[in-house]
Structure 1
Amino acid sequence: MLASASTGLMNSVLEKLSSLMADESTKLVGVHKQLRFLHHELSSMRGALEDVADMEDLTNETKVWRNEVTELAYDTEDCIDDFRHRVESPHDGQGLMCRAARLLKTLMARYQISRKIEELRTRVQEASDRRTRYRLGECLSRSAHVSVDPRITALYAETSSLVGIDAPKEEVIKLLTKVDDASPQELRVVSIVGFGGLGKTTLANEVYRNLRLSFSCKAIISVSQRPDMMSLLNSLFSKVSGQGANHANDLQGLIDNLREYLQGKRYFLVVDDLWDASAWEIIKCAFPESHCGSRVLTTTRIERVAVASCNYQLKFVYRMKPLGDHHSRQLFLRRVFGSADTCPEPFEGLQEKILQKCGGLPLAIITIASLLASQPTRSIEQWKFVLNSLRHNLGLDPTLEGMRQTLNLSYTHLPHPLKACILYIGMYPEDYEIQRDDLVVQCVAEGFISGVDGREAVEVAGSYLNELVNRSMIIQHVKYGARGDRIIYRVHDMVLDLILSKSTEENFLCAVENLQAISTRQRQYKARRLSLQFQDRSLVESAGRISLPHVRSLIIFGWPHGSLELLELKFIRALYIERATNELDLTLISKLFQLRCLCVRGNYKRLQLPEEIIGLQHLEAVIILSDLSNVPRDIVSLPALLYLQFPPAASYPIGIGNMKCLHTLRSF
């Protein structure tokens, strides 16, 4: 895991160690001395981890040391949290037997923490001895309130008309609309093909905006590398019909319903980001040959997929080309200087060399320009450093590795907390629309972000996400609705590739598609953040009980069970569930004493929470977007609850207006 996330972790561990040293319950032989040693060594290691975070091309030994120290910090915090919970949790009864039981429990907890601290001291000593092998540089981090740069909005709004997209747009429209030897009323499929980062999705969206009013049914869907066909086609049905999700029980039934709805209608559909011809073979079954002049536009990186989607008619394949010199310059200058007219003379030569390395790839140009624009001051040395860091001409060698190196340059220059936030996005599936509020409360629950200068952590988190938007690392959209506007985030799949690569390298998170894979990964390292993305539910239903005591964040998509009994959780802080079964029983969460964030999305016939959750003393955010069978009556007594979102029909318990910490109360 990167030092960016470790910084917040280390701060938390050191605070808890200080508190424990001042506590009467730790006054056992040798323990206080061990705690002082841990505090001193971990304080020193915190600075070293921050230095490592700003270095490139680390040796394998340095990476191993960094990961080892981070695991030490996690295990130390878990040890302290467990001890505190055992000796401070409320007890029933005041009689002699009850007092004796409490004393025995406390003595046992003290004895066990003494043994664990001795083990941790040994591990810290070993890590400290190895630390002298590495020379770590110095780095600076900064924190300031940030609003979304208005030039970003203008950039994306004007790209279609001003930055080299007019000619491609007209060519694709011509392919979709021209009359040739084939009947114009027949279904026609046109495909845009090109390397990642060329702007295929941007081009397809522009074509869609220009033609959609000519069709009675229209929609855009994004497929991705591992599509969930039921979810994908359900989304398509909802978009073209304006209705809710289709309730077909299987894929064949859903396809039949789509065909029936589209039959006899003139439709225009954009199928974005196709990776496999076999996926197209399934999707196209939903498109009837209605002879109404319907059109389908696909985008893909793979030539053979493009040809297959066009029914092997090469004349309907449009091959994306990089931007020319003029348009590359316009895009770059507008992002860096706010105007596409001129570049200051001292930077002119460097700008030309940087653009040459970017090779006309819009994503590379925007990424590097955003990096330069984000710097507080502008200098020749800074631009030279960026130029020298671009190792390839991406136009001549448009490989995944080359683009990754380009994006990695922007990643390396992110302030420490922003690195943790961008990596956390890897918990979500490809092409997922991430709700801003969800991401904010998850990052705060993980401890990546804390309050600064009197501003609460959720406000600081929002500012950090704005900074990621400004740096073009994430893309922000606003969805308008009757109940208010919602901000959502998406990431380009090239950025997601970098995120997952970094996360794997640093053991930041683990994403799996079946429970059996968890056991394999757990043998290699402790998964602190786990994303379960189920498509084949039989792989879940056949699995046994899974022990996940070290997991701090858990995101589940497609959970087929009616409860979480299959998962043994202990130190979890953020729990997110979407697309589970029709009924979901979450009464077991009352035992998750470290839980800080709970988010449940989906249309459940019955969603049950515990009757009492007073034990969740750290719970900060609850987001429930589904019909709810009950609201815990003691939720008004939670001392840390800041954010609460329930469905409109939910009945809030008496006293909700007296909660002093609560600052956000919403319904969807």
Structure 2
Amino acid sequence: MDIVVGALSGMVDALPGKLGELLEQEYALLSGVRGDVVFLQAELGSMRAAIHHCVSLDHPDNQTTGWIGRVREVAYDIEDWIDLFAVRVDGGAQSATGFRAWIRRGWNKLAALPDRHTIANELQGLKERVVEISEQRKRYSLGAMVVTTAQPPLDPRLSALFVDRDSLVGFDEKVEDVSKLVMDAGSRTELKIVSIVGMAGSGKTTLAKAVYQRLQAQDNFQCSAFVSIGPKQDMVSKTVKNMLSNFGDQPRGGEDINQLITRVREILANKRYLIVVDDLWSSEQWGTIRCCFPENDLNSRIITTTRNDALLTDSYSCSSKVVHRISLLSDTDAKKLFLKKVFISGNSCPQHLEDVLTQIMRKCGGLPLAVVTIAGKLAQKQSRDEWEKLGLNLLCSSHSDRSDGLKQILNLSFNDLQPHLRTCLLYLSIFPENSEVDTERLVRRWIAEGFIAEGRSISAEATALGYLNELIGRNLVQPLDLNHEGVPRRCRVHPVIHDFIVYKSMEENFATLMDAQHVPNNDSTVRRLSLRNSSKQDQPAVRNESTDLSHARSITVFGHASAAPQLTNLKVVRGLDLEGCHGPVCLDGLCKLVLLRYLSLRGTDTSEVPPTIGDLRCLETLDVRSTKVKELPPSIVRLEKLMHLLAGSAKVPDGIANMKSLQTLSCGGTTKSSANFIEEINNHDNLRELELYSDATETPGNKKRVRFPAHGFRSVKKLCIRCPSPLGPLSPMHCQQSKCLN
């Protein structure tokens, strides 16, 4: 089993710092508690080093993977304890100053004394678990050995190098296009580089090999070589040696990388060459390999393949550089390739399997490696049960064969990610297959879960968008509907990638996915719950009364709102997302969710927000757009940490000026008048986006207008005014970037 520590590594890295911040709050710690916090801080530092060492192992034993699982669970519980600490002990008085605040803190401290003893007992239990886990690692020397009896699986990329041209489907036109792209130079004779870019399994190596063979046969190149690198950094020297072997110059042994590069350059100095560098992974690799290629103005050519858009040879001094993004197979070609691999006839499918074939093709999404892999599993099989079991659930089973080339290929991409990017990618497993996820929704949920660290000069949202762009650049996430700044409004993952991250998420116990066909194992602690129900009224909703959700950090419901769990059971939940759910929504106990940071009721039948919503003092995002809510309760203005208030056409109460953290505001004005509302938000320094819904109830003779002060909205970058009728003249206003009038 592979070690999956995508979310764990980043979380354990952050915990010592969070404990350090807690130590600075001397007023809040009981005697004895401080020593336990210091102990945990030091022990987690040691655990962090051990985890990073375990991640580096190619073939860890079962004891090591089990130990990682125990560390993961205790790390989650420690973070929950830290986040609950301030709420149960601080009482919210620390943000206030003065004598009255001092009295308030003293009273809260006295009132919280029972909670303090409970907290101390919980911490003692956590300390005992950490000690036990630490002793287990020392006792069994976990992570110290690499199992040598198990042979590593064969490199799944090898098969792409030896594909019979006659077996290719849908590649003839691609080979023709790339060959022309490589050889087209006009009247110039300079070196040209063509990068073939695409997602894992899209056929980059197969295409590059076919082009290489074609050009070798057609054009007069004096030197040629096809070499592959792979994700390991130490493969560069081996790659250069392989290049020398292609030139008929066998390595002499004992030479360092500088000497090897010098020999390659000497061979290529006065020759017209064709080099394919397959499977580039890092700029460091390319920075070394590119030194082998002299620009000798002899019409030489280099072809590279990579699954990372960031490695498009921008750093190479050659001025002639072209990128070819490989497309996936069309529906027709994908079906043709599949039938060719499954049936001897290669041109027909039994009638009783036609509907399953349609589902399999939808699952493959035109990805050649997925088509070939599933076809290989189903070759010469005629049973519908086998087709459904093997064709539709290829990656979701934790017992899948390690020799599965598709899974290995995807694992290479996943393991190449930094821990924070693994976490963000795994989070997309929460959404159903082929979901088009709103970017703002995703980013704000990442932040609510604590995945994003806000820097000194960059906001958490900007950092999160950077993470999303990196996942897009690595061809793991697909961008949709780019705005004028090139930022995707929505995104999705390919069905095969989705299956893979669901498999990884289940393996790591990152998220629990529940639907009518799958009920989670009650032995596993639920950390994130995704409930997937049919939205049809005649379909029963999934019930989860027996599932313990006391440790759940996020709840996401798709379909029936009645499937949502009782909110009183959610002690540490940070995110509650019911967006688009049908049917009545029960919000009983909502205001007891003291750690809640993200709440979306968008598109539901909700008609009223609880009047005590102001008690959720950790809340950062509230979305009630497209609901029946007409007016938000007065307590909303007490939410000092609220950054995104998305009320849609609902009105907000007076006192909006007190919400100094607001960055995004969408509403229909205030309960008093639009003029007072504009005055209230005029001095907001943090407000970045403002969306106003105009009141269309004015009579034709009413001359009342909304005036925007010319000196106001200095920080607003986007202004959108929505109204059902044509909008009259606007008074002057300052707005940095854009305005939208609907």
2:228 aligned partner: 350
For residue 46 of structure 2, what is the amino acid of its counterpart? S
1:436 aligned partner: 439
Structure 1 residues 84 and 424: CA distance shift in structure 2, 3 A:
same
Distance 2:421 2:457 in 1: 20
- Say if 1:559 and 1:579, in contact at 8 Å, map to a contact too: no
Structure 1 residues 595 and 51: CA distance shift in structure 2, 3 A:
farther
1:163 aligned to 2:174? yes
2:562 aligned partner: 561
The 5 Å alignment of 1:85-164 reads 85-89=87-91, 105-132=111-138, 133-135=141-143, 163=174
1:642 aligned partner: 643
**CA shift for structure 1 position 589:** 2.3
**CA shift for structure 1 position 660:** 2.9
- Say if 2:480 and 2:489, in contact at 8 Å, map to a contact too: yes
**Highest relative contact order (Cα 8 Å, sep 6+), 1 or 2?**
1
Structure 1 residues 476 and 547: CA distance shift in structure 2, 3 A:
same
1:626 aligned partner: 626
Percent identical residues: 30
- Say if 1:404 and 1:494, in contact at 8 Å, map to a contact too: no
1:65 aligned to which of 56, 64, 67: 67
Per-residue deviation, residues 30-53 of structure 1 (Å, max 9, x unmatched): 333222211110122123334444
2:529 aligned partner: 530
Structure 1 residues 454 and 54: CA distance shift in structure 2, 3 A:
farther
- Which SS does the other structure have where 1:556 is aligned? strand
2:314 aligned partner: none
2:594 aligned partner: 593
**CA shift for structure 1 position 17:** 2.5
Distance 1:632 1:421 in 2: 34
Distance 1:343 1:437 in 2: 51
For residue 664 of structure 1, what is the amino acid of its counterpart? T
For residue 611 of structure 1, what is the amino acid of its counterpart? P
Distance 1:462 1:402 in 2: 32
Distance 1:610 1:342 in 2: 77
- Say if 2:587 and 2:610, in contact at 8 Å, map to a contact too: yes
Per-residue deviation, residues 209-240 of structure 1 (Å, max 9, x unmatched): xxxxxxxxxxxxxxxxxxxxxxxxxxxxxxxx
The 5 Å alignment of 1:397-408 reads 401-408=404-411
Structure 1 alignment gaps of length 5 or more: 138-158, 167-195, 200-321, 332-340, 355-367, 388-392
2:584 aligned partner: 583
1:506 aligned to 2:508? yes
Structure 1 residues 79 and 619: CA distance shift in structure 2, 3 A:
same
Per-residue deviation, residues 545-602 of structure 1 (Å, max 9, x unmatched): 7541100011101134297536621111111113423432436322211111122332
Distance 1:525 1:562 in 2: 20
- Say if 1:553 and 1:573, in contact at 8 Å, map to a contact too: yes
**RMSD of aligned residue pairs (Cα, Å):** 4.6
**CA shift for structure 1 position 542:** 6.2
Distance 2:652 2:211 in 1: 55
1:409 aligned to 2:412? yes
For residue 227 of structure 2, what is the amino acid of its counterpart? G
Structure 1 residues 613 and 560: CA distance shift in structure 2, 3 A:
closer
TM-score (norm 2): 0.53
The 5 Å alignment of 1:165-180 reads none
- Which SS does the other structure have where 2:642 is aligned? coil
Per-residue deviation, residues 611-648 of structure 1 (Å, max 9, x unmatched): 2322222222223332241323333332222233332x
Distance 2:135 2:91 in 1: 38
- Say if 2:448 and 2:598, in contact at 8 Å, map to a contact too: yes
The 5 Å alignment of 1:341-490 reads 348-350=226-228, 372=281, 377-379=286-288, 401-478=404-481, 487-490=489-492
Distance 2:622 2:576 in 1: 10
For residue 409 of structure 2, what is the amino acid of its counterpart? T
- Which SS does the other structure have where 1:431 is aligned? coil
Distance 1:39 1:644 in 2: 36
For residue 88 of structure 1, what is the amino acid of its counterpart? D
2:716 aligned partner: none
Structure 1 residues 402 and 561: CA distance shift in structure 2, 3 A:
same
- Which SS does the other structure have where 1:78 is aligned? helix
2:352 aligned partner: none
Distance 1:596 1:11 in 2: 22
2:732 aligned partner: none
Structure 1 residues 8 and 589: CA distance shift in structure 2, 3 A:
farther
Structure 1 residues 53 and 573: CA distance shift in structure 2, 3 A:
farther
Per-residue deviation, residues 377-402 of structure 1 (Å, max 9, x unmatched): 44459999x99xxxxx9998656521
1:192 aligned partner: none
**CA shift for structure 1 position 102:** 5.6
- Say if 1:557 and 1:579, in contact at 8 Å, map to a contact too: yes
Distance 1:542 1:394 in 2: 34
Structure 1 residues 453 and 57: CA distance shift in structure 2, 3 A:
farther
For residue 549 of structure 2, what is the amino acid of its counterpart? L
- Say if 2:227 and 2:278, in contact at 8 Å, map to a contact too: no
The 5 Å alignment of 1:250-329 reads none
- Say if 1:431 and 1:491, in contact at 8 Å, map to a contact too: yes
**CA shift for structure 1 position 81:** 3.1
- Which SS does the other structure have where 1:524 is aligned? coil
- Say if 1:584 and 1:607, in contact at 8 Å, map to a contact too: no
> Which of structures 1 and 2 has the bigger CA Rg?
2
Structure 1 residues 58 and 100: CA distance shift in structure 2, 3 A:
same
TM-score (norm 1): 0.59
For residue 70 of structure 2, what is the amino acid of its counterpart? E
- Which SS does the other structure have where 2:417 is aligned? coil
- Which SS does the other structure have where 1:555 is aligned? strand
Distance 2:176 2:137 in 1: 53
- Which SS does the other structure have where 2:83 is aligned? helix
1:616 aligned partner: 616
For residue 74 of structure 1, what is the amino acid of its counterpart? Y
- Which SS does the other structure have where 1:561 is aligned? helix
Distance 1:344 1:2 in 2: 47
- Which SS does the other structure have where 2:491 is aligned? strand
2:50 aligned to which of 34, 48, 51: 48
Distance 2:171 2:576 in 1: 40
- Which SS does the other structure have where 1:110 is aligned? helix
Distance 2:568 2:227 in 1: 58
Return the structure number with greater helix share.
Answer: 1
Structure 1 residues 574 and 160: CA distance shift in structure 2, 3 A:
farther
**CA shift for structure 1 position 657:** 5.0
- Which SS does the other structure have where 1:504 is aligned? helix
- Which SS does the other structure have where 1:425 is aligned? helix
For residue 618 of structure 2, what is the amino acid of its counterpart? H
- Which SS does the other structure have where 1:601 is aligned? coil
For residue 452 of structure 2, what is the amino acid of its counterpart? I
- Which SS does the other structure have where 2:73 is aligned? helix
Structure 1 residues 342 and 480: CA distance shift in structure 2, 3 A:
farther
Distance 2:559 2:635 in 1: 30
Structure 1 residues 27 and 460: CA distance shift in structure 2, 3 A:
closer
Structure 1 residues 468 and 38: CA distance shift in structure 2, 3 A:
same
**CA shift for structure 1 position 87:** 2.3
Structure 1 residues 197 and 545: CA distance shift in structure 2, 3 A:
same
